[in-house]
Chains A and B, each alone.
Chain A
Amino acid sequence: EIVMTQSPATLSVSPGERATLSCRASQSVSGNLAWYQQKPGQAPRLLIYGASTRATGIPARFSGSGSGTEFTLTISSLQSEDFAVYYCQQYNDPSSFGQGTKLEIK
C-alpha cells in the first residue's frame, strides 16, 4: 500500500501571503495525484488532479506541481475562504490519502 505523507501538519499564514503544502509518496505514483480542500461539516472538494490540472471552477491562485514521489500545492495569495484542511490523494495503486495539512490564519 502506498503511504502518503503531508507536511507540515499545521501551517499558519496571513491572508494575502503564499502558502506551500507538501505531499510525499512512499513510491512513485507518476502524475496520479490529486489535492482536496475540506471545510468543517463539508465533504472534500477536488482542487487539483493529474498533479497540476485545476478542477472546474477552481481559482487560478491554486496551483499544483510535482511528479513521482514529491508534490506541492501552492496557494498564491490566501483569501479568507482558503483556510481549511487540505489532503493529497494518490490514485495510481489503487488509492490512498495523506493525513492532511490544516491551513490556519496567522
Chain B
Amino acid sequence: EVQLVQSGAEVKKPGESLRISCEGSGYRFTSYWINWVRQVSGKGLEWIGRIDPSDSYAHYSPSFQGRVTISTDKSSNTAYLQWNSLKASDTAIYYCARPRQSLPLHAFDVWGQGTVVTVSS
C-alpha cells in the first residue's frame, strides 16, 4: 500500500525552529516529487512547495519562499519541512502529498495524515 506517514503534532514558541517529516512507503520514493500544503484552521489549502527526492531540487511558492525549507533524505524515504524561526501565523495543519504520476506537476492522489503545528507564547 502506498502511504505517506507524517510526524506528530508540535507545540512551539515564536522564534523557535522546527522540522516536521513525511515518510513514504509502498513505492519508489525517488520517483515521485513530494509536495507540502498548508491549511490554516477553518481556511483553504495553500501550496507551499515541492521537492524532487532524486536530486533534492526544491521549488517554492512565492508566498513561502525564504520562510521554509524543504529537504529529503533518500536513505530513509523521508521528506522534511523546516522553519528556522516560527511565527504565530505559522499555526496550521501541514500536509505532504504525492502526485499520481512521476511528473513535477500533477494532481495529488496520496496524502499524509497531516501534522498540526501550534506556535504560541
Contact = CB atoms under 8 A, between A and B. Distances in A.
A59 interface: no
Contact of B47 (A38, A50, A96): A96
Contacts of A38: 45
A32 B104 CA distance: 12
Interface residues of B, number: 24
Interface stretch (B24-32, B69-77, B83-91, B109-117): B109-117
Interface stretch (A15-23, A41-49, A72-80): A41-49
A94 B107 contact: no
Of A1, A43, A94, A97, most B-chain CB atoms within 10 Å: A43
Interface of B: 35, 37, 44-47, 50, 59, 61-63, 95, 99-100, 104-109, 111-114
Interface of A: 1, 32, 34, 36, 38, 43-46, 49-50, 55-56, 87, 89, 91-100
